[in-house]
Structure 1
Amino acid sequence: MDINELKNNWNSMSIPPDYHAGVTDDILSRVERGRVTTLRDRLGNISRMLSQICCVGVLLMIPYLHESPTLGILAIAFFIFMGVMHFRAYRRVSRLAFSEMTVREAILTVANIDRDRIRLRAIGMALALPLAIYMCFTFSEVFGDYYLYGCIAGAVVGLGIGLFINRRAVNIIREMRAQLNPEQ
């Protein structure tokens, strides 16, 4: 086949009637703007966001050091510990390079990330529950009953947010596993 035949074949090709260029244009524009994120990036962003929330928690507890130093120190220590652990998880996820790993290594790495996430969640709940109870009773004792109601409402809202974030992380890890091992 020579070049003239290729030109003729190319010119004789027809575009199917159901082809919509607008759909691919939207996808291409999102890729060009950098608005397409990988599962790895989305999972890393969850850990980064949680570490930033812990930093805000430290800043929010500083004013309470004057009223209840024990509560302030315990809460600040909790937020620092959890912030460091979430930042460590973020760094670990952001350094993943699936293209440089075998499929077996990638599956094991995703399993390790999931295991560490479950451990961190368990440690966080084990430390946060007594701290939240102590915080509610201390605030109600120092500031009045309305603070107790606010603490309980905050705990319920925080639990809902935590469950939503956990569901997102579980779905991302499940999708990573499905992409790495399509037989399951």
Structure 2
Amino acid sequence: MSKKVAFLVASEGIERVELTEPWQAVLDAGHEAVLVSPKPGEVQTFDHLDKAEKRPVDLTVADAKVDDFDALVLPGGVANPDALRLDAAAVALVREFLTSGRPVAAICHAPWTLVEAGVLSGRRLTSWPSLQTDIRNAGGEWTDEPLVVDGNLITSRKPGDLPQFCGALVEALEHGAAAASA
């Protein structure tokens, strides 16, 4: 059965591979990927600090409803989650996804948005190492591992962890978030 996955990004600063590789994994598994952003139009991806491709927005945050999706992916890049955490509607959407029990997959700097959403208390996760103090201050338990699955929360540290991250995302779509941690 095909599932629908929201990929939430700001208008720029998205680490390209952290968007495109999970996106392709979702498509390869027979599911639908939808690019969601606070503003309509296009978003600018980056290869670290260099501009890469632009991608069209499919749906704005204002029009996105958690009940219309089976999972949420939060790609990293430093500027991307930093901008998202300043958008109250995007933060509310992330909070609603995580509390709904649907899988939420965040990589690299993306957990900054989870920090802002106030949903990390008692959760175990990983991220880019510079976020560990923010995560601990938000009540989360930070660990330096390629992949951490805590219930419906799937996290990885960096682009090098994408094979594990994408595998856990697809596993959660196929069998539920709890199965990904088994």
Judging by fraction of residues, say which structure has more helix.
Answer: 1
TM-score (norm: length of structure 1): 0.24
Judging by fraction of residues, say which structure has more strand.
Answer: 2
Max radius of gyration: which structure?
1
